[in-house]
Each structure stands twice: as C-alpha cells, then as structure tokens.
Amino acid sequence: MGMTMTQKILAAHARLEKVEPGQLIMADLDLILGNDVTAPVAIREFDKIGTEWVYDKAKVAIVPDHFTPNKDIKSAEQCKLMREFAHHQEIENYFEIGQMGIEHALIPEKGLAVPGDVIIGADSHTCTYGALGAFSTGVGSTDMAAGMASGQGWFKIPEAIRFNLKGKLQPWVSGKDVILHIIGMIGVDGALYQSMEFGGEGIRNLTMDDRFTMANMAIEAGAKNGIFEVDEQTLDYVKEHSTKEFKVYEPDKGARYTRVIDIDISEIRPTIAFPHLPDNTRTIDEVGEIVIDQVVIGSCTNGRIEDLRSAARVLKGKKIHSEVRTIIFPATQKIYLQAMREGLLEIFVEAGAAVSTPTCGPCLGGHMGILARGERAVATTNRNFVGRMGHPESEVYLASPAVAAASAITGRISSPEEVVK
C-alpha cells in the first residue's frame, strides 16, 4: 500500500522503510519552535530533564511575538526568562523585537523551513510550513522541552484527506477564501488527527502566500498538519530564502486516503466565518447587513506582503468609515519594510488606519485592539471563538484582507467588488 506525503516524511525521519496509519514512532526533528507564551513553560520543563544544553542550538527557534512589545510586567518577565535562556544556550535563531516577526511568517522568510523537514512548534499554527512541503505540526510546551533535549518527538502516523484542486481563483478571491470554504465544508473537526494534503493542477494558480494561509488554518479543521505538493513556485521560494538542504517528497500513486475531495477553486466566492466557529461560513453574497466596529488586517494567517497589497488595492485613495477602527499589522520587519517601500503603509495611514509593529496581540485577545462587550470585528485572523479578541460577548468575523479592507470603508461586512469599481 502506498504512503501519503506526510507518511513518507515521517517514515524517513524515523528511519523506517514503511509506516502504517496509527503506528507510533519517534522521529528526528529538523526544527523546534516556541514563543513567549509557550517557551517559558518549556524552559522550566527542560530544566527538569537535567540535561545542560539543547541538542542542537541551530535547530531551535525562539520568537517573542505574542505579548510583545511587552504589554505588562508579567509578560515582560516571561520574555526575560526566554531571552536569558536563548542567550545562555546560544540559540542561533532567537529574534529580538526590532528584528522579529510573527513566528509563522518569520520562519519561512528566514529559510528555516524547507521541503521534507519535520518541524514541531509550541504553537498550534506551526502547521503553516506545510505550504513548503514540510511536515510541521503544533505541539505543547512539554513536547518542545523534550524536543530541545533529545532532538526527537513522538508521533502517531496520521491518515489523510486528499484535496485535488483545479481551476483559477476569481478576482478578489484568495487562499483565505479557499481554506474558509474547505473548513465550512468539512467542519472544525473534519480532519481530526489527519493530514490535509493539497495537490492537483489548481495549486499552481495559488501563490506561496495563498498556500501559507491555507496550511496555517489546517488546524481549524482539527488537522494534524496541512501539506502542499512541491512545485516550481515552492522551489523558487526555497532558493530565494534558504541555504538548507531539502528533499522533495511526493505522495505514492497508490497512497490511501480516508477521503478525496475535488474542488474547482474558480467557483469559490469571498467567504466569511461567522461567530463563534471557523466552520460557520457564508459567502459574501449571503452575509446580509453586519455593522462592525473594528477591522484587523494581519496575523500569521494574513499578514504577508500579498495580503497587504490586496488591502491596499481596496483602500487606495479612500477613507475608512468614521465609526470603524482599522489596525494593520505587517507580519515581519521585512514585510513592514517592503510595504513601506511599495507605498502601502502610506495608503493605509492616509485612509485612516493604524499601522502596528509585528505582534500576535489582537488575534488572541492579548493587546493592541481588544474588543468591548457587544463589539464586532472583521479580522483576517484564524479563530472566532467566544472571547477570542476580547469580551466574551464580542464577535469576530473571519475574512480575507480584501473583504476586511472593503468592510473598513463601508462600516459593514462588504465585498471588495462593491468598493472598487
């Protein structure tokens, strides 16, 4: 019986010829990642193991991105603990404020994730690097600690759902709409314990930024990982960003899937997830009149340069609605600089948006844009759970950067088609 991409990568990293779904393996890790929420817990657990040094200081990455720049004394203390650990251990991939970015935008940009890697991160959106044909998955702090000490992690070999994409996206439709459409179709536990494997000729029509967004939200369908087949675009991206050795894995012809889903992406409309689950989706044509108080454009899901360009195409020369606060977060310093050079930041500020340094802040209700009771936000983030961005009685609507920008102008959830004539 053939293996899926994920099964082949995991088998190779466990030095096995073959693996079966359900099998438990110990795999060698190519990268272990943590942030200012999860790494402090991991460091305390690491100290309990009694080993002095991390197994490979080049294979650990630590990024202070959640409550940074520090929002209060407690978070400053957490960051300090993490920073001291990184310096003491001489961690090569520690990125300080001013050079950092939101981890899942930063890691690929720094060339630390390449095809064929096995990566764990103490953050659920670690699945983002599947866009590059790597196996990457979110774990907890204890897994991060054990990984830092031993260079290995335990995994149960997952089954997979195969998504065969065809066609080309319509104008104003992006990877965000495709993944929201898919989550709406299979549900928030539709891929529980499984891989979501994306392939087919249609992926060639998806940019790398589209793919990062889609792999990023695999977790919102309960998946262990999302993974894309590698094509020329992937290889170009890797050549531009990384000097690491890599290996391209393809699924076997006879790979077994629990489900094969064919999707014509040219039929997908801008899609919005209503409160309070990412699978509660409607197309832009079905939303009705939803008046909003805040727009957030950014995050590990949609803070990349194409996301900002898309928002800027909508906002250029227009004014944001007087009763809407709009906050835009480029996801890394490099993206920030590029957006500045391309004049995007100027477009945002002239439209009346606030532009922030990279941070996860508002996405998880940490800081920099918390909602009050009864308030509604359109956000390009990844979760709209109860209380996710603030008060338990606030509401989050998940959308693409284009829809978010259009909504900022009209003050209600709107299509970019309505705003850009």
Partner 1 sequence: MIQGKVIKYGHNVDTDVIIPARYLNTSDPEELAKHCMEDLDKTFVDRVRKGDIMAAGRNFGSGSSREHAPIALKASGISCVVAETFARIFYRNSINIGLPILECAAAAQDISEGDQVQVDVNTGVITNLTKGKTYQAEPFPAFMQEIINADGLISYVRERKK
Chain positions contacting partner 1, by CB under 8 A? 24, 37-38, 40-41, 44-45, 48-51, 66-67, 71-72, 74-75, 78, 121-124, 126, 138-143, 145-146, 149-150, 154, 188-189, 192-193, 219, 222, 224, 277, 364-366, 370, 383, 385-388, 392
Separation of alpha carbons 166 and 310, rounded Å = 23
Given a contact cutoff of 8 angstroms between Cβ atoms, the answer to whether 94 and 62 are in contact is yes
> Least distance to partner 1 from the beta carbon of 168, Å?
32
Helix (H) / strand (E) containing 201: none
CA distance 114 to 238: 7
Is 341 within 8 Å of 312 (Cβ atoms)?
A: no
Taking the complex as a whole, how short is the minimal distance between the CB of residue 362 and partner 1, in angstroms?
11
Least Å from the CB of residue 147 to partner 1: 9
Residue 265 Cβ vs partner 1, minimum distance, rounded to whole Å = 26
Q: How far is CA 124 from the centre of its chain?
A: 9
Q: Minimal distance in Å, beta carbon 35 to partner 1?
A: 10
Measured between alpha carbons, how far is 215 from 131 in angstroms, rounded to an integer?
6
Residue closer to partner 1 (CB basis): 153 or 270? 153
Report residue 39: phi and psi, to 5°.
-65, -40
CA distance 140 to 24: 18
- Provide, rounded to whole angstroms, the least separation between the CB of residue 152 and partner 1: 9
For partner 1, the closer of residues 190 and 401 by Cβ is: 190
Give the nearer residue to partner 1 in terms of CB position, either 217 or 403.
Answer: 217
141 vs 242, beta carbon nearer partner 1: 141
CB 76 within 8 A of CB 43: no
- 3-state class (DSSP) for residue 240: helix
Residue 35: C-alpha distances to residues 124, 226, 241 (Å)? 11, 21, 22
Nearer to partner 1, 173 or 183 (CB): 183
Nearer Cβ to partner 1 (153/401): 153
